[in-house]
Amino acid sequence: MRIARWPCAIHNPVSRLLPQAHARPAGGSSTARFSVLPEPVPMSFDPAIILHHDRLTRHFSGWPSFHDAEVIDIHLWRGQIAPGDWDDSNIMPVATVTIRVLRATQEVWQGPDVLAVLRFHDVDAIHLDDFNHDNMIVSLTITTEERGTFTSGEPLPPHRVVTFDRGFGLSARLRCMSIEVVSAEPVGPGPLPGPPYPKPQSP
C-alpha cells in the first residue's frame, strides 16, 4: 500500500473542499475523498478598534469575511529598542501580513478580490504552523484579552488576540497591542505580481 497525496486545495466560492490522503493499491486507479470545511462564524467586534479600518471596509461596506482568504506573505520585525532608560521612541516587535480577501465569499459578490496588508504592533506570543504554497484560512478572528489595571485602578489597554483559523496550510495566532490596515487594493484574477524573491540558482 502507498499513500496518494494531492499538494493543492480545490477552490469553491462558498466553501473549500480539501482532498484527504488515502491509501490505494500500487498501480491502481486513484479516487479522492473530500471534506467540506465549516461555514465561517461571523465576527462580533467593532472594526473601529483597528487603525485605518476604512481602507478595507470601503471595499465591502463593512468588515469583510476572511473565509477562504489566502495569506500571501508574513513579515516579522523585532522592533528597535534604544539602550538605557525606556524611551517612547522605542518600537516593540511588529508583524505584517498580506492577505488576499476573496469577493466570492462575501455576502455581496461584486468587483475583484482585495489584497489587504494588516500590521500588528507590539507583538508577542506568536505561533505559526504549516505555512505552505496556499495558506487558505477559514476565518480571521480578533478577540480582546484584559491585562489588569494601573495602581489607580484604571484598566490597562487590552491585548488583541488574532487567530488565523486553518483551512489548508497556515495556522497562526498572535497577541498584540494594536492593529492597522496599511493598505487594501483591488486585484484581478490570476497570480499576483512577483515573486518578491528570486528563485535560487543551482550550486
Q: Does pTM top 0.85 for this prediction? A: no
Cell readout for 89 is: 521612541
- Domain range for 115: 40-80+88-187
User: What's the number of domains the chain is made of?
Assistant: 1
Query: pLDDT means per 10 residues in the chain (203 residues)?
Result: 35 39 43 41 73 95 94 95 86 96 87 95 95 96 93 93 96 96 92 77 82
User: Please, which residues have CB within 8 angstroms of residue 118's CB and are 6 or more apart in sequence?
Assistant: 96, 97, 99, 179, 180, 181, 182
In a domain, 168, yes or no: yes
pLDDT in tens, 25-76: 444 444 444 334 444 344 557 899 999 999 999 999 899 999 999 999 999 9
In a domain, 16, yes or no: no
Q: What is the rounded CA–CA span in Å between residue 164 and residue 147?
A: 22
In a domain, 200, yes or no: no
In a domain, 194, yes or no: no
The pLDDT of residue 18 is: 40
The pLDDT of residue 161 is: 95
In the block, which residue shows the cell 483591488? Answer: 186
In a domain, 115, yes or no: yes
The pLDDT of residue 193 is: 74
The pLDDT of residue 110 is: 79
- Cis amide linkage into residue 195, ω under 30° from 0: yes
Beta carbons of 95 and 71 less than 8 angstroms apart: no
b/e per residue, 160-183, with b = 16+ CB within 10 A? bebbbbbbbbbbbebbbeebbbee
In a domain, 136, yes or no: yes
